[in-house]
Amino acid sequence: MAKQFNARIAASLGPFSDQDIFERLKRIREGARTDAARSPKVAEFDVFASGREEIGQNHPDAKLFAQTLKREIWAANAPDIDLSSVKSLVAVHRLREVSCLYGFTRFEAAPTSSDGDIEDVSLAVDGAPISRDADWLPAIEQFGEGLFVHFDEGTIRTWLGEEPVKERVQS
């Protein structure tokens, strides 16, 4: 119905069938529910480690755009280096990060949870809230780019089990 009564929607979704649109909306809704229950850092890792050729959209207004580079390209440029522990390499062209201040203390820096869960963060002293009745929080939006190196867990686990590595860790 939206395609029928809204010219902008019809122009954007015109080439897609109603069934295709409905299936895509269901996948988005299910993905949103699944990701909401997971740590943001784990969800981000899963996206970059997915092996998809393109991640996000290559558009100036896009919040995320990355490309998984073909192994033949990056491994050929370093023939003398052992890259067996590198599973994949992702060139992140555009990435948005939002940081939010939810409280503060003057006595001790707030520890951060390794998986990003705010509920797990606790202070040894009581932190002061930003406001008693705040319905918003101050935040900053940052944009950047970089490389995501996905290491092969099995190769690293094997390496950690070698005697010289064990000895070095013990000292």
My answer on whether 46 and 93 are in the same domain is yes
Residue 97 structure tokens: 């990060």
Write out pLDDT tens, residues 4-35: 777 887 777 777 778 877 777 777 776 655 55
My answer on whether 45 and 1 are in the same domain is no
**91 assigned to some structural domain:** yes
- The model carries a pTM of 0.62
My answer on whether 93 and 12 are in the same domain is no
My answer on whether 158 and 92 are in the same domain is yes
The whole domain housing 14 covers: 1-37
Residue-level pLDDT at 13: 76
SS3 47: helix
Q: Which of 28-42, 114-128, 131-145 has the lowest mean pLDDT?
A: 114-128
**80 assigned to some structural domain:** yes
Instruction: Provide the number of structural domains found in the chain.
Output: 2
My answer on whether 33 and 50 are in the same domain is no
My answer on whether 19 and 72 are in the same domain is no
Mean pLDDT value across residues 133-160? 90
Q: Which element (helix H / strand E) includes 56?
A: strand 54-56
My answer on whether 88 and 43 are in the same domain is yes
My answer on whether 5 and 87 are in the same domain is no
My answer on whether 5 and 25 are in the same domain is yes
Task: Indicate the residue type of 15.
Answer: P
- CB 104 within 8 Å of CB 129: no
- Cβ neighbours for 127, distance < 8 A, ≥ 6 positions apart: 103, 104, 105, 110
Write out pLDDT tens, residues 88-103: 999 999 999 888 877 6
My answer on whether 32 and 48 are in the same domain is no
Closest CA to 65 of 47, 81, 87, 88: 47
Dihedral sign from CA coordinates of 25, 28, 34, 37: negative
Task: Indicate the residue type of 74.
Answer: W
- CB 96 within 8 Å of CB 40: no
